[in-house]
């Protein structure tokens, strides 16, 4: 049985890589994908603790997080498409107007 610390370190690694992606990349799509990575890291934590405490609640929260990720992806990608239509770019630092 793998100790829970290992799961936590894995989750941490994914989380940090996700954060680095969000902070350093310019492409909004990659930023969104990095956010997915972060959510994923959280999911690992939840499931690991769910087994740790022998309680299914953590897994249910995972389901909610995945639902949330789907909603976020739909809206986020919708915004990207709408933005791309108007400005023809997907770079975060060019999204510098509050309206267009």
Partner 1 sequence: MSDTRTTGFPGVEQTVLGADEIIINMGPQHPSTHGVLRVKLRLDGERIVDSECVIGYLHRGVEKIAEHRSYQQFAPYVDRMDYVAAVSNGLGYCEAVEKLLGTEAPMRAKVVRTILTELQRISSHLLWLGTHAIDIGALTPLFYCLREREEILKIFEKYCGARLTTHAFRIGGLQYDTYDGFEAETKRFCLDFSHRVDEYEALLTENRIWIARTKGIGVLSAADAIDMGATGPVLRGSGVKWDIRKAMPYAAYDRYEFEIPIGQNGDTYDRYIVRMQEMRQSNRICLQAIEDIPAGPIMGKVGKVLKPPVGEVYHSIEAPKGELGYYIVSDGTTQPYRVRIRPPSFINLEALDKMIKGHLVADVVAIIGTLDIVLGEVDR
Partner 2 sequence: MTPAQISQYAFYFFAALAVVGAIGTVTVRNVVHSAIFLITSLLATAGIFLTLGAQFVFAVQIVLYVGGIMVLFIFVIMLVNLDVALHQMQFKRRWWVAGLLALALGGQFGAVIYYSRAGGVLEIPAARTGALSPQNVQQFGLALFEKYALPFEIASVLLLVALIGAVVMTKKRV
Site residues (vs partner 1, CB under 8 A): 77, 81, 84-86, 88
Q: Specify the residue, 63 or 77, whose C-beta has the smaller distance to partner 1.
A: 77
Give me the least distance between CB of 77 and partner 1, in Å please.
Answer: 7
d(CA 29, CA 33): 6
Residue 45, judged by CB atoms within 10 A of its CB (0-12, 13-18, 19+), counts as buried
Binding pattern to partner 2, positions 33-72, x when CB under 8 A? xx-xx--x--xx--xx-xxxxx-xx-xx-xxx-xxxxxxx
């Amino acid at each position: 049985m793998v100790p829970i610390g290992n799961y936590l370190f894995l989750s941490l690694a994914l989380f940090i890589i996700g954060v680095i992606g969000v902070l350093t990349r310019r492409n909004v799509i990659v930023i969104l994908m990095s956010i997915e990575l972060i959510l994923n890291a959280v999911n690992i934590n939840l499931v690991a603790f769910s087994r740790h405490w022998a309680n299914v609640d953590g897994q249910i929260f995972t389901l909610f997080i995945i639902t949330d990720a789907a909603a976020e992806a739909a809206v986020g990608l919708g915004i990207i498409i709408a933005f791309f239509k108007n400005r023809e770019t997907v770079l975060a630092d060019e999204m510098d107007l509050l309206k267009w």
